[in-house]
């Protein structure tokens, strides 16, 4: 296997920090160069991110696409929405491997991106070329530009995939009640994420307006073209990390509990990072710090309603962990290389 040199653009946010930590434990990565798109001079990492006070070897370099391509074999972007669309063109033109954690290349239509993100979209041809990297179901081999899915989208799509792909449910009945810890809101302080507001509280936000909705619908439509929309709400939890997506959907008249159990078992039988727990409902605590998605499913025959509980760590499986999974698939590496499986305790 080829050892690789990696560039990481965007280290100051939570997603970039966690991705950097994981890449340091990847057996096939020999070098990590850090770049800041707002950096003007090389700056010690410990000055840019004081949490890395013990890292005396790495500097954050001013962004330069030519240097990145000259010195590295692939680049990860852990940047905010609206940044990668302004920076990625040279990499796309040269078919240079990119794993993009932002939302800039997830949606195939520029108008859809602009409607949901309220920012200028990348060029249509570039959007069409990007691969939506839902790692368990959209294999990234032979791809050069990976649009890494959003955290809510990852939890929701993995929970819905067996039911939609096997046509066991009424696609007009999908309701998703998703809840996330505060790290999902990013590092920039806000009134909503202030400790006094978050602590001992639950807050609904961006109901039917969250940026991850269109990518969820877009992928569902790839599995079943009759999907038109979903009901989707998001709630801020008084915890740091983790997502619980509780999904409700009506079963078709011929669907049985045995069929539901069977499709989850078979869909994820060979997927090391999805654990199907049957009627045992998973909790956020059992996945925090890991790249796992745990799925519990209950079919209420009295109401013909299937409930799926999907839990992930939003900073690992919902961001950098899945990005490394895609990187591993791109390069034919062991899919688990560099990915954490030990839950953070207590």
151 is catalytic: yes
User: β-pairing, 305-312 with 243-250?
Assistant: antiparallel
**Which residue among the candidates 17, 151, 169, 274 is catalytic per the annotation?**
151
CB neighbours of residue 227 within 10 Å: 19
Q: How many angstroms separate the CA atoms of 149 and 68, rounded?
A: 24
Q: Residues 27, 31, 33, 34: is their CA dihedral positive or negative?
A: positive
| SS3 at position 147 | strand
Other beta carbons within 10 angstroms of residue 124's beta carbon come to 12
Residues 6+ apart with CB under 8 A from 28: 1, 2, 3, 4, 331, 333, 337
Rounded distance between C-alpha atoms, residue 329 and residue 140, angstroms = 5
- Looking at the DSSP assignment, which residues form a beta bridge with residue 59? 44
Residue 325 and residue 337: Cα distance in Å, rounded? 8
List beta partners, residue 298.
307
Residue holding tokens 């959907």?
249
- CA end-to-end distance (rounded Å), the chain: 37
Q: Which of 200, 201, 160, 155 is nearest to 178 (CA)?
A: 155
Distance CA 319, CA 246 (A): 20
Looking at the annotation, which residues are catalytic?
151
């Amino acid at each position: 296997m080829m050892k690789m040199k990696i560039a990481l653009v965007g280290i100051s946010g939570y997603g970039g920090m966690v991705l950097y930590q994981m890449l340091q434990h990847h057996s096939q990565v020999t070098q990590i160069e850090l770049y800041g798109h707002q950096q003007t001079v090389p700056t010690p990492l410990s000055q840019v991110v004081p949490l890395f006070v013990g890292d005396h070897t790495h500097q954050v370099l001013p962004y330069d696409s030519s240097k990145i391509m000259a010195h590295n074999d692939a680049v990860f972007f852990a940047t905010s929405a609206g940044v990668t669309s302004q920076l990625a063109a040279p990499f796309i033109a040269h078919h240079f491997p990119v794993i993009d954690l932002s939302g800039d290349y997830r949606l195939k239509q520029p108008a859809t991106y602009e409607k949901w993100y309220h920012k200028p979209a990348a060029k249509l041809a570039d959007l069409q070329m990007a691969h939506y990297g839902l790692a368990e179901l959209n294999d990234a081999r032979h791809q050069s530009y990976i649009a890494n899915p959003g955290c809510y989208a990852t939890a929701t799509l993995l929970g819905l995939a067996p039911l939609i792909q096997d046509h066991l449910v009424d696609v007009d009945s999908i309701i998703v009640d998703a809840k996330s810890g505060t790290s999902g809101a990013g590092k920039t302080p806000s009134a909503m994420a202030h400790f006094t507001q978050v602590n001992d509280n639950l807050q609904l936000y961006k109901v039917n307006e969250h940026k991850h909705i269109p990518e969820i619908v877009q992928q569902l439509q790839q599995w079943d073209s009759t999907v038109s929309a979903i009901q989707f709400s998001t709630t801020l939890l008084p915890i740091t990390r983790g997502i619980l997506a509780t999904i409700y959907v009506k079963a078709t008249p011929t669907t049985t509990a045995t069929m539901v159990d069977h499709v989850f078992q078979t869909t994820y039988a060979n997927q090391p990072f999805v654990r199907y727990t049957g009627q045992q409902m998973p909790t956020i605590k059992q996945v925090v710090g890991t790249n796992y998605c745990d799925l519990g499913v209950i079919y209420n025959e009295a109401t013909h309603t299937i409930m799926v509980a999907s839990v992930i760590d939003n900073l690992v499986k919902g961001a950098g962990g899945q990005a490394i999974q895609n990187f591993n698939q791109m390069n034919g590496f062991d899919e688990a290389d560099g990915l954490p499986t030990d839950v953070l305790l207590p």
